[in-house]
Amino acid sequence: MSPAIHPDTNSPRILVFSTINISDPGIDLAGSRHLEYPATVQTMPVPCSSGLKPAWLIHALEKGFDGVFVASDGEECAYLPDCAERTSRIIAEAQAIMAARGISPERLKMAAVCSVCAEPFANYMREFSEKLKQVRAASSVA
């Protein structure tokens, strides 16, 4: 049993876009193994990370999410052999728009989450959550 996590009302809100065939099973496995990560992480399934519009990622941030995390298929994508490059381009494009609108590019992150990447996923969420707290602190000081 992991120790009780006290709900943190200030915990950053994170929206995860995950891929149905590859990342979702990995995120499911994190839950099945009770690897806890902040409950302020919410997941939205999509067929492939290469199908995400940069505008959606920015929409989420502008609507109030502190961070957006794209769990991509990486090399495992069954649809597109160049999926990792495509998703990277989408992220880069979104970050360019974010920079122009004064949104910290650190609020958008991408990593490959495979179908058994339970532990890496839970770690990514804990780390990203901590990172976003720093980003928030830095921006409130600025």
> Under the rule (CB under 8 A), what is the footprint of another protein?
2-7, 11, 13, 15, 20-22, 24-25, 27-32, 34-48, 50-54, 56, 59-60, 63-65, 75-76, 78-81, 83, 86, 90, 93, 115, 122
Shortest distance (Å) from residue 140 CB to another protein? 20
For another protein, the closer of residues 3 and 102 by Cβ is 3
Rounded Cα–Cα distance for residues 138 and 127 (Å) = 17
105, exposed or middle or buried, with CB in 10 Å at 0-12, 13-18, 19+?
middle
Q: Which is nearer to another protein, 3 or 141 (CB)?
A: 3
CA 35, 41, 46, 48 torsion-angle sign: negative
Strand order in the sheet with 41-46: 41-46, 14-19, 67-72, 108-112
Cβ-based nearer residue to another protein, 47 or 99 = 47
Q: Which is nearer to another protein, 9 or 142 (CB)?
A: 9
Q: How far is the CB of 98 from another protein (least distance, A)?
A: 16
Spatial distance between the Cα atoms of 27 and 142, rounded to a whole number of angstroms? 35
Cβ 132 to another protein shortest distance, Å: 15
